[in-house]
Structure 1
């Protein structure tokens, strides 16, 4: 599946006293890209929540390579690395689109829970969501 990278500019309010984007905002950028990714594959997060499927973050990690500044354009490349119906993991690369230079890399892990916060698998409850997620799963490299 061909996913279009998420593009935007850094806002002034996201910067700190050193005029760089504060480190906490990169996790927000991951979330924005993930919501966009889900929309692109036909799994709108708002509709999922209305259906009773909530997708909390279980783990988040970011490694900072180069700072973003106010009004700089960036893109977030996102991949669905793992998915088994109840858990999933995304990887992210925030890059400068003009140069391709890496600003931040990271990953997040998630699970599906119902409105009572009980984990469940979408495989049987929402088979179409399962199919779409499986089709968006990034191919894993072959190891020798």
Structure 2
């Protein structure tokens, strides 16, 4: 299994009045982690979009364990939890700079045609991605 790591410098604008990261900002961090994993596997999501294929989130689970605060560095760990050739579920852990688990999450995605939102097979349309995902998954 391949696990990608992304460092996030917590900015003041990402925090609430209590000085902790506002809950919705973790979703942005998950996207950064997902993009980094795809790049670590040798691909760019923009290349898929240029071919008229999108990968929307179809389900997301997130559990908040411990806050990350302004001025800290968070680490987003990302991996492929499940993959069946059509749908992919990414797994995530967000760690505090002390290595404590802050967030545990999963996001499920499907590839669709941009103009119709009809599902497409990653296995068929992107065989290189398919092989990489098969080799990288949990």
Give the TM-score normalised by the residue count of structure 2: 0.93
| Contact 2:90 2:106 (C-alpha < 8 Å) held by counterparts | yes
Unaligned runs of 5+ in 2: none
Runs of 4+ in 1 over 6 A off after TM superposition: none
Alignment of 1:57-68 (within 5 A): 57-68=57-68
Tell me how far 1:3 sits from its aligned partner. Answer: 3.5
How many angstroms apart in 1 are the aligned matches of 2:4 and 2:89? 18
The answer to whether 1:108 aligns with 2:119 is no
How many angstroms apart in 2 are the aligned matches of 1:77 and 1:8? 11
When you count strand as a share of all residues, which structure comes out higher?
2
Q: Which residue of 2 aligns with 1:40?
A: 40
Q: How many residues of Structure 1 are paired with residues of Structure 2 in the alignment?
A: 137
CA deviation map 1:20-70 (0-9, x unaligned): 110001111111100111111012111111122211001112111111111
Q: Which residue of 2 aligns with 1:29?
A: 29
Tell me how far 1:4 sits from its aligned partner. Answer: 3.6
The answer to whether 1:52 aligns with 2:52 is yes
Root-mean-square deviation (Å): 1.3
How many angstroms apart in 2 are the aligned matches of 1:53 and 1:84? 17
How many angstroms apart in 2 are the aligned matches of 1:2 and 1:122? 19
| Contact 2:2 2:137 (C-alpha < 8 Å) held by counterparts | no
| Contact 2:4 2:79 (C-alpha < 8 Å) held by counterparts | no
Give the TM-score normalised by the residue count of structure 1: 0.89
Tell me how far 1:125 sits from its aligned partner. Answer: 1.8
How many angstroms apart in 1 are the aligned matches of 2:3 and 2:60? 21
CA deviation map 1:64-110 (0-9, x unaligned): 1111111210101112011111101011110124x321111111111
